[in-house]
Amino acid sequence: MASPQVVLITGVGKGIGASLARIYLSRPNHIVIGSVRNDTKVAELKSFPTASGTYLLLVHIDSGSLDDPKEALAKIQQAGVDHIDVVIANAGGYPTPVPLDGVERKDLMSCFEVNAAAPLLLFQTFKPLLQKASAPKWIVISTSAGSVGYIGVIGSHILPAYGASKAALNWFTQSIHFTNEWLTVVTLHPGLVQTNQGNWVARKVGLEQAPTTIQESSSSIVKVVDGATREGTSGKFISAPEGTELPW
């Protein structure tokens, strides 16, 4: 049998992360590594039926921890995993939205730690396993709210801490693209998704709920990941549901 496809997804406890994990668990000959903060929230994922030769490996990563990624790496290697083909940095934080004039420093620092610094640390930690894959991919789940060019178009100024931290994530991701020519690097907007956060934003712009279901979002993300190449996709900021590029 061919070497298994190894996919690491952060934040599989709920929402898009859990849906992404289920998609890959449905594919044969896959090792799906999912990071969680709380094991008690993944009972449904643990019981999800897997395809032939596929299994789930859970690791603990709290985005605020400097040690968790290293400990997760050690657990993964102890399980016999010697490479990672795809990392989907999905985990992130979303504080209670506060207008720009009232946003507090602690909220800014918290968002930057979770949404920008944590994914960078994740890359630094798992880079050696990515380098052992034949066609490695580093995929980051960002948001159109992190696009500086879109602030006036979509009114993302209502999300100052979140938007600014995702803009920083975009910067780090582009830097990873330009400094690692062996790697396919893609920044993705998952759509305005029917999560608590997405529905809040939708109501702010006059919609009853967000237009994109979690399943639609995760399926579109996987479609982009499957087709991503260094030559054709790497270094781009893509809206997954539409498959179109977004301005930085």
- Find the CATH number of the domain harbouring 192: 3.40.50.720
Mind listing the pLDDT tens digit of every residue in the chain (248 residues)?
A: 689 999 999 999 999 999 999 999 999 999 999 999 887 778 889 999 999 999 999 999 999 999 999 999 999 999 999 999 999 999 998 777 788 888 899 999 999 999 999 999 999 999 999 999 999 999 999 999 999 999 999 888 989 999 999 999 999 999 999 999 999 999 999 999 998 788 878 887 788 898 999 999 999 999 999 999 999 999 999 999 999 999 99
- Provide the domain count of the chain: 1
Strand 236-239 relative to strand 244-245: parallel, antiparallel, unpaired? antiparallel
Residue 83: predicted pLDDT: 98
162 is catalytic: yes
Residue 237: predicted pLDDT: 98
Residue from 150, 166, 204, 223 carrying the catalytic annotation: 166
In the Cβ-directed half-sphere of 175, how many Cα atoms lie within 13 Å?
A: 11
Residue 1: predicted pLDDT: 62
In terms of residue numbers, what domain contains 101?
5-245
Residue from 24, 94, 150, 162 carrying the catalytic annotation: 162
For the stretch 52-58, contacts whose Cβ atoms lie closer than 8 Å and that sit 24 or more positions apart, written own/partner, are 52/28, 53/1, 53/4, 53/28, 53/29, 54/4, 54/24, 54/25, 54/26, 54/27, 54/28, 54/29, 54/30, 55/31, 56/21, 56/25, 56/32, 57/31, 57/32, 57/33, 57/81, 58/12, 58/33, 58/34
166 is catalytic: yes
